[in-house]
Amino acid sequence: MSNNLTVHPKGLYVLFFTEMWERFSYYGMRAIFVLYLAAKATGVNPGVGWEKADALALYGWYTMMVYVLAVPGGIIADRLLGQKKTVMLGGILLCIGHFILALDSLQAFYVGCVFIVLGVGALKPNISSMVGSLYKRNDPNRTKGFTLFYIGINIGAFSAPLLVGYVGETINWHYGFGLAGIGMLLGQAVYIWGQKYLKGIGEFVPKQLDAQSGRIAKVPLTKIEKDRMIVLGLTFLIAIVFWGAYEQAGGLMNLFTKESINRSVGSFTVPTSWFQALHAFYVILIGVPVAFIWNQLRKKGKPNSTIFKMGVGTIVTGLGFVFLAKAAYDASTLTSGQASMLWVLAAYLLHVIGELSISPVILNFITKLAPIKYVSMMMGLYFCASGLGNKLAGVLGEAAFEDSSPFAIFVGITVFCVVFGTLLIVLVKKLNALTHGADVEIESDPVEAA
């Protein structure tokens, strides 16, 4: 396919590399977070020596908080600084946070985490909104811009567990955290250097002042804006459902893979943690082809609205769990007690096809639908919803080991996602009407856009 990279503004590449390094630092530290806390406090590479459950509990809160803090991150951008400066501030907080983690002390670990939570909250929603600002609202290259940006995210997410994980686990935890910090420093350097390509993007837009009182005039939302906000609210619900299913990866699917999947390839046993790099690997592999297929369908006039894609994505993700249900069934019936790893590979593939039909698309959708003065706040709310999805995933995962079973949870997620996604598709026309045309892409140049 010809995805002509020159059609994108240079600013996209600045944001691409900044976010790639930010995600490298984030996923790098995340990869060793629980391992460090749960590692014995003695020996050559001492950890903190916590119980696994305690380490997991802190991890759950931490991964939720980084995205919940995206809400104040968005509000600060809307009300005070603009997105560009808030991203700069977030980057500084992240550099400080990661380097504090490189210090060998538990107190430093807590302080470093606080900086990271604040830093991701300031950076992540606002850098995503800035991608949208690089394009006109109905430019077809805009969708491709978000796809490329998403691939950048995943290059960082894929390489980090391999590099930071290796250094942290086998050499020294704090060198690992330090390496994540160097990644963030590179991201910040790219962002500072690239300011010249971001002129007029993500600037602070002062609110209209009331002529008489001198206070901020409370311009009410129009009917169209209100309708679009309703659709965005539904989008957040979809985000909770989708991430609640998808994020089983790090928890239940991870433990299930460790215990119930045959990971031997000849004489080699694939480490369980390697499966955690699969999502990002698949995104890099099929990110562009999936976007291409959606684009071809759009050109052929097939249903292609964002809501439709989200419906399909939810169903496909749900169907991925059929493979896991089969694996759970095999594991409980085969004498070896272990199912083939092909089921897991297939499940992750379907999850990523679902992800690519939902996640980059939602980022784009928010920047198209939200009234300009609320873009950052709505982006923040979306990340918050994804944080709640992460927490939901944890709760479902715990249930699999308490009153339920992995098989029942996998079947339950399949049914729920398929019904929910089908409902979205059934309602697609009504919901699209509420967007009042904001989701329509105009084909400016059919050759370029291919």
Residues that bind ligand PHE (CB under 6 A): 23, 67, 153, 157, 359, 383, 386
Beta strands in 210-293 (DSSP E): 261-262, 264-265, 268-269
CB nearer to ligand PHE: give 201 or 385. Answer: 385
Give the containing element (helix H, strand E) for 340.
strand 339-340
Dihedral pair phi/psi, residue 110, rounded to 5°? -60, -45
CB nearer to ligand PHE: give 387 or 397. Answer: 387
Q: Give min distance, CB of 308 to ligand PHE, in A.
A: 20
Closest residue to ligand PHE in the complex (CB) = 386
Tokens of 93: 């907080």
Q: Give min distance, CB of 361 to ligand PHE, in A.
A: 11
- How far apart (Å, rounded) are the C-alpha atoms in residues 438 and 305? 10
287: buried, middle or exposed (CB in 10 Å: 19+, 13-18, 0-12)? buried
Q: Give min distance, CB of 74 to ligand PHE, in A.
A: 13
Q: Give min distance, CB of 363 to ligand PHE, in A.
A: 8
Q: Give min distance, CB of 203 to ligand PHE, in A.
A: 24
Give the containing element (helix H, strand E) for 265.
strand 264-265
- How far apart (Å, rounded) are the C-alpha atoms in residues 328 and 347? 12
CB nearer to ligand PHE: give 236 or 343. Answer: 236
CB nearer to ligand PHE: give 11 or 152. Answer: 152
Nearest CA among 171, 190, 272 for reference residue 24: 190
242 CB neighbour count, 10 Å cutoff: 28
Q: Give min distance, CB of 214 to ligand PHE, in A.
A: 39
Listed in sequence order, the residues at least 6 apart from 42 whose beta carbon sits closer than 8 Å to its beta carbon are 49
CB nearer to ligand PHE: give 188 or 260. Answer: 188
- Do the beta carbons of residue 92 and residue 188 sit within 8 Å? yes
CB nearer to ligand PHE: give 47 or 90. Answer: 90
- Tell me how far the alpha carbon of residue 111 is from its chain's centroid: 24
Q: Give min distance, CB of 383 to ligand PHE, in A.
A: 5
15 CB neighbour count, 10 Å cutoff: 28
Q: Give min distance, CB of 266 to ligand PHE, in A.
A: 32
Q: Give min distance, CB of 287 to ligand PHE, in A.
A: 11
3-state DSSP assignment of residue 22: helix
Q: Give min distance, CB of 399 to ligand PHE, in A.
A: 23
CB nearer to ligand PHE: give 282 or 374. Answer: 282
CB nearer to ligand PHE: give 23 or 84. Answer: 23
Nearest CA among 388, 389, 406 for reference residue 397: 406
**Beta strand 339-340 pairing with 261-262:** parallel
Q: Give min distance, CB of 110 to ligand PHE, in A.
A: 23
- Do the beta carbons of residue 112 and residue 62 sit within 8 Å? no
- How far apart (Å, rounded) are the C-alpha atoms in residues 414 and 324? 10
- How far apart (Å, rounded) are the C-alpha atoms in residues 293 and 308? 14
To 10 degrees, what angle do helices 10-38 and 52-68 make? 160
CB nearer to ligand PHE: give 153 or 431. Answer: 153
- Tell me how far the alpha carbon of residue 417 is from its chain's centroid: 19
CB nearer to ligand PHE: give 367 or 386. Answer: 386
Nearest CA among 69, 80, 67 for reference residue 373: 80
CB nearer to ligand PHE: give 21 or 50. Answer: 21
